[in-house]
Amino acid sequence: MNKYQVLKNVFGYEIFRSGQEEIIDKIISGSDVLGIMPTGAGKSLCFQIPALILPGITIVVSPLISLMKDQVHSLIQNGVKAAFLNSSLSSGQYKKALSNLEKGLYKIIYVAPERLETESFLNVSSKINISMVVVDESHCVSQWGHDFRPSYLKISSFVNTLEKRPIVTAFTATATQNVQMDIKKLLGLRNPYCVTTGFERKNLYFDVIETKTKDKIGETIKLLSDIKNESVIIYCGTRKKVEQLCDILNKKGYSTSRYHAGLSAVERRRNQEDFIYDHKKVFVATNAFGMGIDKPDIRMIIHFNMPKNIESYYQEAGRAGRDGEPAKCIMLYSDSDISLNRFFIDNTNNDDLDIDQLKDIKAQDYKNLDKMIEYCKGNACYQKYMLDYFGEHIDSCGNCGNCLAEFDEIDFTSEAKKIFACILETEQQYGIKMICDILKGSKNNERIFQMGYDNILSYGSMKNFSLISLKNHIKELVNKKYIFLYGTKYPILKLYDIAHDIVCGKSKESVIIKKRKSKGVFFSSNKINIYEQPLYDLLVKLRTQIAKEQKVPAYIIFSDKTIKQICKKLPVELQDLLQISGFGKNKLEKYGDLIIKTVNEYFMGL
Ligand code: ADP
């Protein structure tokens, strides 16, 4: 089979997504590859398709048991001979899997990195034909990354034990320049073909709801009542909040489970499974929950508290909508989230670091926190803001709370004049912090008193503004080109001529700023309509029943997207199912008749 046939016949998809085809071509032609693609982009297919085309066996090194299980179950559903080797197997099961591997019964084998060093595995590896070694979540090899796994460092020596060097490929969703260099070096990639696809997530709707702390529970319930019976994760800043919110939601009738590092390993595993297997639809968790969550049908991620930086937020929110269907990422923001994060930063301790290193890290953490606050308070496209932060420049997404909202235009001239005047009075030689402190009339900034700025007109002239809103207003004036930042390390604020003219009365131009008036309304084009709903419900029931029989999560059988397409295309014959995305030949044989029967039952009931 060629790559298109594998895509259609095995996985049931019509077209490749961005980056997939070029990666597959390179691998088949024998090249090492480093693929950096966002969550949900379809990394797995990039190595699974070549694995089925190359003559020998492919070994996939993966860091987590849950990830391996999911991927292997999905492959088996698609009729691919695959298995995993990790500590969840009994010694009998392990031996059996190893002997099957030796007999050539598998095309793809998933392995925990620790297994690569074992004698039994090395022994079998030396006897089989290994075409490719894939390193999934390859950022784990780097100490710069957030999930460093020392056993990943052994992968390259394993590859070196093999008589014939296989193709080596590495995939990850997160890799800064440092991490990328580490991946290439530490995995011994040879002249790898590197692909980085864009990180924009077109199916995700981002929004921030600014709310008082005491109203957050009410807002959460409103959000949940909008999307009944769908999987939702709610991230909270503390374990205590997880406990509280989980109790409240259960009392309100939402089937909710919880996850944080204070629970026993047994409870964490059980709760996680309840969520993955759809026994519980709402999952309240701290940021301890996430890595290895492959559940593709999470329709909403709510952040009950603002996370500490944009990286964490994009990664956590990015767990929504891996299946490409519309999903929401909502942050409930209140100013008290800032104090919570400051408390965490101030109380960071690390015995491995000396005082100066710790000070540097805290200073960086404060800068990152500022960016996160700016995101929450900003009026511009949310997704664009985050991608700019990662160094990728896109147009406004057109689909987030800010892009879809209406704004009031407010005359800000008199306030802007005060800001301009303060910059002038202090001779255009200070940065944003000092200017804000003077405008607020700060008593804690010694430099103000040393310089006598407590006696100037601007001192305290905007004391009724919060520090955050002052900073945001100044940033808006920068964006609107009244003020510019001079210098890179400690940028100072300087006025453009027009601001100068306005404050001196030479210009009568009004300074207009935007204030969000309406809610940006989320629009999901793929929603099931009321006529399709009864069939949708029947198919979901059928899927639950099959998943239960086979002891796998429902999404492994078929995705929500596949069910929606069946409702829209109403297949009446087996062959019609081949037009539905996600239906390869194997699934057609296994479930085709049952689905057609269900569609017919639905027609008869009309
Ligand atoms: P990643 O590992 O990059 O987060 P996955 O490999 O889990 O993403 O893929 C996310 C989802 O997209 C899966 O449900 C997968 O089957 C689906 N998918 C991947 N490639 C395609 C494609 N070409 N067409 C349609 N769906 C695809």
pLDDT in tens, 64-105: 888 899 999 999 999 999 999 998 899 999 999 999 999 999
Grade residue 292 by pLDDT with cuts at 50, 70 and 90: low
The span from the CA of 562 to the CA of 555, in Å, is 10
In the reported structure, the alpha carbon of residue 582 is separated from the centroid of ligand 1 by a whole-number distance in angstroms of 10
In the reported structure, the alpha carbon of residue 501 is separated from the centroid of ligand 1 by a whole-number distance in angstroms of 56
604 against 404, higher pLDDT: 404
Residues in the chain: 606
531 against 189, higher pLDDT: 189
C-beta contacts of 335-339 below 8 A and 24+ residues apart: 335/466, 335/468, 336/213, 337/237, 337/305, 337/306, 338/306, 338/369, 338/373, 338/468
Residue from 426, 495, 414, 434 nearest 457 by CA: 426
The span from the CA of 296 to the CA of 555, in Å, is 7
In the reported structure, the alpha carbon of residue 597 is separated from the centroid of ligand 1 by a whole-number distance in angstroms of 28
pLDDT attached to residue 177: 79
Q: What are the pLDDT digits (tens) for 128-186?
A: 999 999 999 999 998 766 678 889 999 999 999 999 999 999 999 876 778 889 999 99
Identity at 391, one-letter amino acid code: G
The span from the CA of 582 to the CA of 588, in Å, is 10
Query: Which residue lies with its CA nearest to atom 11 of ligand 1?
Result: 323
Structure tokens belonging to residue 196: 């980085």
pLDDT attached to residue 186: 95
Question: What is the average pLDDT score of the chain?
Answer: 92
392 against 54, higher pLDDT: 54
pLDDT attached to residue 517: 84
In the reported structure, the alpha carbon of residue 557 is separated from the centroid of ligand 1 by a whole-number distance in angstroms of 14
Cβ atoms within 10 Å of 67's Cβ, excluding its own: 20
Query: Which residue lies with its CA nearest to atom 13 of ligand 1?
Result: 323
Ligand 1 surroundings by CB, under 6 angstroms: 13, 16-17, 20, 37, 39-45, 296, 322-324, 559, 581
Average pLDDT over residues 316-330: 93
The span from the CA of 257 to the CA of 553, in Å, is 17
Distance of CA 213 to the CA centre of its chain: 25
Is the distance from CB of 593 to CB of 574 less than 8 angstroms?
Answer: yes
Q: What atom of ligand 1 comes closest to residue 37's alpha carbon?
A: 3
pLDDT attached to residue 353: 75
In the reported structure, the alpha carbon of residue 41 is separated from the centroid of ligand 1 by a whole-number distance in angstroms of 6
pLDDT attached to residue 83: 97
Residue from 249, 301, 302 nearest 280 by CA: 249
pLDDT attached to residue 525: 65
- To test the pocket of ligand 1, the residue of 37, 45, 136, 138 to mutate (highest count of ligand atoms within 8 Å of its CB) is 45
The span from the CA of 402 to the CA of 330, in Å, is 12
The span from the CA of 299 to the CA of 285, in Å, is 16
Query: Which residue lies with its CA nearest to atom 24 of ligand 1?
Result: 13
Instruction: Quote the Cα angle for 184-185-189, to 5°.
Output: 50
Query: Which residue lies with its CA nearest to atom 18 of ligand 1?
Result: 42
Grade residue 108 by pLDDT with cuts at 50, 70 and 90: very high
pLDDT attached to residue 428: 96
Is the distance from CB of 376 to CB of 333 less than 8 angstroms?
Answer: yes
Cβ atoms within 10 Å of 10's Cβ, excluding its own: 21
Say whether pLDDT at 281 is over 70: yes
Structure tokens belonging to residue 574: 């087996």
The span from the CA of 393 to the CA of 386, in Å, is 10
In the reported structure, the alpha carbon of residue 45 is separated from the centroid of ligand 1 by a whole-number distance in angstroms of 7
Structure tokens belonging to residue 47: 């190595």
Residues contacting 506, CB < 8 A, separation 6+: 500
Q: 553 burial class (0-12, 13-18, 19+ CB within 10 angstroms)? A: buried
Say whether pLDDT at 1 is over 90: no
In the reported structure, the alpha carbon of residue 304 is separated from the centroid of ligand 1 by a whole-number distance in angstroms of 28
The span from the CA of 478 to the CA of 522, in Å, is 30
- To test the pocket of ligand 1, the residue of 6, 8, 11, 23 to mutate (highest count of ligand atoms within 8 Å of its CB) is 11
Does the reported pTM lie above 0.85?
no
The span from the CA of 243 to the CA of 73, in Å, is 32
128: left (phi over 0), alpha (psi -120 to 50) or beta: beta
Strand partners, 596: none
Q: What atom of ligand 1 comes closest to residue 14's alpha carbon?
A: 24
Pairing of β 130-135 and β 167-172: parallel
Q: What atom of ligand 1 comes closest to residue 322's alpha carbon?
A: 10
In the reported structure, the alpha carbon of residue 384 is separated from the centroid of ligand 1 by a whole-number distance in angstroms of 23
Residues contacting 315, CB < 8 A, separation 6+: 39, 173, 174, 290
Grade residue 482 by pLDDT with cuts at 50, 70 and 90: very high
Q: How far is CA 373 from CA 46, 192, 339, 386, in A?
A: 37, 38, 11, 12
Q: What are the pLDDT digits (tens) for 416-467?
A: 999 999 999 999 999 999 999 999 999 999 999 999 999 999 999 999 998 8
